Amino acid sequence: MTLVESVEAGKLTISELLETLAKDNHYASSQWDQRYRELTTSLQNTPIFSRPETDDLIKRLWYERDNGIASIRQGVPSLAEYQQNLPLLRELTQRVSQQPDESAYHYVGDALQQAKESGQLKRMYWSLRNRVFAAFSPENYTSTVDENAFNIAAGFLNNHYHLGLALTGNWLQKNHELKHAIQVRSPNADPYYVNMAIWHIYELLRARDNELKQDEVSVNTSKASGEPSEFTPLRHSPSNMIYFGPPGTGKTFTLQQKMKEYTSHAVPADRDAWLDSRLESLNWMQVITLVLLDLGKRAKVRQMTEHQWFQRKALLNGRVDNFSQTTWATLQSFTVPESTTVAYKGRREPAIFDKTADSEWFLVESQLEQVDELLSLYAELKQGPKSAESIQRFAVVTFHQSYGYEEFIEGIRARSDESGSISYPIEPGIFMRLCQRAKADPAHRYAIFIDEINRGNLSKIFGELISLIEVDKRTGMPNAMSLQLSYSGEPFSIPANIDIIGAMNTADRSLALMDTALRRRFDFVEMMPDLALLSGVKVKGIEIESLLEKLNHRIEALYDREHTLGHAFFMPVKKALDAGDEEAAFKQLKIAFQKKILPLLQEYFFDDWNKIRLVLADNQKQDDRLHFVIEKTDDLNTLFGRNHTLRRHDHHAAAYELEAFDQEIWNLPQAYRAIYQPQQVILDEQAVNHG
């Protein structure tokens, strides 16, 4: 019984629920608890927030995505927005610190609203305001600063513990009401643990709801008789989604994280799905070999077609009849040449079957060394899924210019055997094979992950599936459709339990260039550089967040926002710093510039080094020794004499040269700092001598 079910069954008091959550999530030793208490203590010990020396605390409160109180993904201002509003945020912080009550809550809300109306702020940051109050008064306000999430958790506790709460009014009022009720029921509970527990209750409820959606997935598959089953609407609609943005913004990483949603550990109930994952890529010869191995290496055709493995393969292939014909044709094709009972000309390798006079087929022992891999697979199938073995219900593909319909849906493949005979079977592509698995396993969700989706010819790759991928056209959906495939001529539809998830780099190709028919069938999620992830990252005096912000502002002015630089380029720097190795972090910074950023800038500006120089602020640096790109005046007079007439109006052309990577400039922290503080950084002799 889960924790949520225990509460619903009345088996846990509030105190027992809080204790269980604290124990299960290791509150006492968690980094969250440590950072939570550290920040609130620092705030309580700071009487005045109007001085610059407290700006680090104000930045943690109002700007950092994860400050130890709560993580806010999309609800924090940009660095430039934060810096522009710093005087206002100092004032608001001081006001809240004096008395974090209802009056202050409205005061802060009104001030933020006025800032938005005047253009100082781009949007209203409601969750951010809640987080500030949660930081100053953990006794009264929870760390669940998203009001919708708080309402879900509070409503659950109110209903099942009969707290009698009204839960009306604003976030502050509802928090105060819930915290007071919990304090009455569990007076000895740690207020920090209560706040952390409320967030985890919300997470448990959200996970429970997701599982219910998974369980209620029902697909309109065909019965063995060929009769369609009754349409059942799906609560969890399929999704078509594309993550797009500049390089280095975590698109591929996001795909990798989402793959975990389609991965589970094997349990007895998942045996069919586990079996499908093994059989899906096999041909009929391989499946029949496995079946014969399981039937003692000898059986008649009917016994083979009734075997579970044969039936699962037929289900994966969408087959409901002609099993005997398929089996006979396969057995005859792979019969040993010396057979006295089979007269079949089109024999293929590996030849491992033979037949008795009474039509009992068997495996020829002396030929089994040709299918060693099938013997190993047979042992694995007999053993079954291991308890910790993962089942991956997804496929991954990367599109490119030559990728086509044949690889993705189905196509003709040239196949030859050892005798040199060539055949041209129609074989399913990666997406069709995944659809076959999903159709055979309607209780689970599947996904195709497509990286670099904009690099392929999408109309060519999807073909007639452009109509079928629409959410409401899937099997089991209200406007379900099926179409005849180009090669096989078979009817085909896409199961509703398949999601299509892609990623595309806007620096390679604009979203506007994507086929309109395909574009309107996808939801697009923009992923831009997230400076907040680099907040506080400082190596040898270089503030990585400010560095990236300034680089991107200049790129956007010279090119556009689709060609900015992503935060991912600098994540190895952060990782090294988190490990306590500043030298390694600085080395990663150099690698990022030399192997990622500069090659990208060269590509963006077509080797226009003058623009690259502007991005790096070399034109603004007072000290020439901090320049990454060296400006050199032409020496045409030296080369050709004074009367060469190559220069008009005595105009001197400038040439540019990037400093070699083994030069000392790349080891000077001041050179990187001067990118975002070009007028303030001057290199002294001591810096030159010691780096």
Model pLDDT for residues 560-590, shown as the tens digit of each residue: 988 999 999 999 999 999 999 999 999 999 9
CB atoms within 10 A of CB 545: 20
| Secondary structure E strands in 320-409 | 353-355, 361-363, 390-392, 394-398
Quick one: angle between helices 308-316 and 430-440, nearest 10?
Answer: 120
Tracing tokens 């078979």 back to the chain, one arrives at 490
What pLDDT score was predicted for residue 105?
A: 97
What pLDDT score was predicted for residue 220?
A: 36
Exposure of 571 in the CB half-sphere (CA atoms within 13 A): 13
Do residues 76 and 65 make contact, with C-beta atoms less than 8 angstroms apart?
yes
What pLDDT score was predicted for residue 405?
A: 93
pLDDT for 432-484, tens place per residue? 999 988 988 888 899 999 998 988 888 889 888 888 998 889 988 888 999 98
Do residues 228 and 248 make contact, with C-beta atoms less than 8 angstroms apart?
no
What pLDDT score was predicted for residue 457?
A: 86
- Tell me, what amino acid is at 240? N
Average pLDDT of adjacent 10-residue blocks, the chain of 691 residues: 90 95 94 95 94 91 90 80 93 96 96 94 92 97 95 96 94 96 95 97 86 46 33 59 92 90 71 82 92 94 94 84 89 91 83 93 91 89 74 90 92 69 83 91 91 87 88 88 88 93 82 69 89 90 94 94 93 94 96 96 92 95 91 74 69 78 94 92 55 46
Please report which helix (H) or strand (E) contains residue 159, including its range. helix 147-160
Phi-psi region of 226 (alpha: psi -120 to 50; beta: other; left: phi over 0): left
Phi-psi region of 322 (alpha: psi -120 to 50; beta: other; left: phi over 0): left
Do residues 143 and 69 make contact, with C-beta atoms less than 8 angstroms apart?
yes
Q: Is 407 exposed, middle or buried (0-12, 13-18, 19+ CB in 10 A)?
A: middle
Query: What is the number of H-type helices and E-type strands within the chain?
Result: 31, 20
What is the C-alpha to C-alpha distance for residues 570 and 680, in angstroms, rounded to an integer? 23
Going from the C-alpha of 482 to that of each of 252, 410, 491, 514, the distances in angstroms are: 32, 16, 6, 25
What pLDDT score was predicted for residue 266?
A: 61
Q: Please, which residues bridge with residue 139 across strands?
A: none
What pLDDT score was predicted for residue 603?
A: 92
| Secondary structure E strands in 353-493 | 353-355, 361-363, 390-392, 394-398, 410-412, 415-416, 422-423, 426-428, 446-451, 483-484, 491-492
What pLDDT score was predicted for residue 651?
A: 59
Domains in the chain and their CATH numbers? 3-213 (no CATH), 240-266+413-526 (3.40.50), 269-385 (no CATH), 531-690 (no CATH)
What is the C-alpha to C-alpha distance for residues 595 and 291, in angstroms, rounded to an integer? 53
Cα three-residue angle 244-553-546, rounded to 5 degrees: 100
